[in-house]
Amino acid sequence: MKPTPIQDSDLDFDYGTFDSAGFTASTLASWTSLAAVIDHTWLKPIATRQQVERLCAEAIRYRFACVLVNPVWTSIAVGALAGTGIPTGAVIGSPLGGSLVSTLRQEATALIRLGARELDMVLPIGQLKSGNHAAVQHTIRAVVNVAHHHGALLKVTLETALLTMEEKLRASEIAIQAGADFIKTSTGSAAGGAIPSDVALMRGVAGARCGIKASGGIRTLAQLRTLLEAGANRIGCSASVAILRELGAE
């Protein structure tokens, strides 16, 4: 199916509101409610099996929303989390967003067959900057179709530190119209990570249509709070346990 062009009017339409203040208050009411919105993440290229297994053990102990790993560790995480109700997530097209559509579809299918229930992909940044919005939408929709066919979630990373204001607005709308379950700030590999102004911009575009995941460089509870207040309803970080301990977890 040919992608529907994104019109300027799409960026101005009222798509409902998300109660950021209420969500923040309920999420920070206890460390258990905060853990439930955190993707516990370890995506370093030097990540080892032992570190991934520890990541999963921490996720089981604290009941994080998801464990997010590089594709090679998907089966290890799925095995470690079996029967716990905590899903395994994996990244695709990361961190450059330069993969072929066929590659992304194949990778998504393979990871879901291994047991991944959430996928975090990077949109084709170069195509976005080239103004080829139809190609960006086609790429995202292709992966959305695979994920949703198998009952998996798809989060689309914009890599906001590399985009202009207009590109952030356009990328957010494209990803949402393509069917993304979440739009996400960053991979953590670029020069900048999640900042409140980007989250607020993304929530302004999304309204109540999809989730907003803030990720990249989140290390403290105070920093996390500002991102929730700006409109995030999912957080991705590797400092998850330290942040929970700030809120009283042991």
**Taken in order 36, 38, 43, 44, is the CA torsion positive or negative?**
negative
Taking the C-alpha atoms of residue 186 and residue 184, their distance in angstroms, rounded to an integer, is: 6
Is 196 or 1 the better-scoring residue by pLDDT? 196
For residue 1, what pLDDT is reported? 44
Using pLDDT thresholds of 50, 70 and 90, give the confidence band for residue 4: low
Considering the candidates 39, 120, 181, 198, report the single residue annotated as catalytic: 120
What is the third-level CATH fold of 8-246?
TIM Barrel (3.20.20)
For residue 11, what pLDDT is reported? 57
For residue 15, what pLDDT is reported? 73
**Taken in order 216, 62, 80, 53, is the CA torsion positive or negative?**
positive
CB 182 within 8 A of CB 140: no
Question: Could you confirm whether 44 is annotated as catalytic?
Answer: no
* DSSP secondary structure of 67-83: EEE-GGGHHHHHHHHTT
Question: Could you confirm whether 120 is annotated as catalytic?
Answer: yes
Question: Could you confirm whether 184 is annotated as catalytic?
Answer: yes
Instruction: Please say if the pLDDT value at position 28 is more than 50.
Output: yes
Going by the DSSP 8-state scheme, the letter that residue 190 receives in this structure is: S
Considering the candidates 39, 168, 181, 184, report the single residue annotated as catalytic: 184
Residue-wise pLDDT tens digits, 67-92:
999 999 999 999 999 999 999 999 99
Instruction: Please say if the pLDDT value at position 7 is more than 70.
Output: no
As to burial, measured by CB atoms within 10 angstroms (0-12 exposed, 13-18 middle, 19+ buried), residue 142 is middle
Considering the candidates 39, 181, 198, 213, report the single residue annotated as catalytic: 213
Residue-wise pLDDT tens digits, 113-139:
999 999 999 999 999 999 999 999 999
